[in-house]
């Protein structure tokens, strides 16, 4: 369930910190969130797909670690990012 190149480019232009940014923590969290959302939709229709469920849990853990890093570094940036992504209500 990889993201298409076009969708990746849209996410990069939307969340990049500076002009040549392709891997900042903010951008990685945005990419992971997109993958998590797609995988969640897949699992709603395929409830017995346990290997994909395990992959989803790994992605969620990775996103959680990146978000905790961002929160330690800059609290305002963290709040803005989770607001833009619509996570952690």
DSSP 19: T
pLDDT at 89: 45
Structural domain boundaries in the chain: 28-89
Instruction: Identify whether the C-beta of residue 24 lies closer than 8 Å to the C-beta of residue 17.
Output: yes
Instruction: Give the DSSP H or E segment for 60.
Output: helix 50-73
Q: Which CATH number fits domain 28-89: 1.10.287.10, 1.10.3470.10, 3.30.70.270, 3.40.50.1100?
A: 1.10.287.10
Angle, in degrees to the nearest 10, between helices 75-85 and 50-73: 140
Cβ atoms of 35 and 42 within 8 Å: the answer is: no
DSSP helix/strand/coil, 29: helix
pTM attached to this predicted model: 0.92
pLDDT in tens, the chain (89 residues): 678 999 999 999 999 989 999 899 999 999 999 999 999 999 999 999 999 999 999 999 999 999 999 999 999 999 999 999 999 84
Neighbours of 69 (CB within 10 A): 14
Q: Is 58 exposed, middle or buried (0-12, 13-18, 19+ CB in 10 A)?
A: exposed
């Amino acid at each position: 369930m990889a993201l298409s190149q076009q969708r990746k480019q849209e996410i990069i232009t939307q969340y990049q910190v500076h002009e040549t940014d392709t891997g900042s923590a903010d951008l990685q969290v945005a990419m992971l969130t997109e993958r998590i959302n797609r995988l969640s939709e897949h699992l709603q229709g395929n409830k017995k797909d346990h290997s994909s469920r395990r992959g989803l849990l790994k992605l969620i853990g990775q996103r959680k670690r990146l978000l905790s890093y961002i929160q330690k570094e800059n609290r305002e940036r963290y709040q803005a990012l989770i607001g833009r992504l619509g996570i952690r209500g």
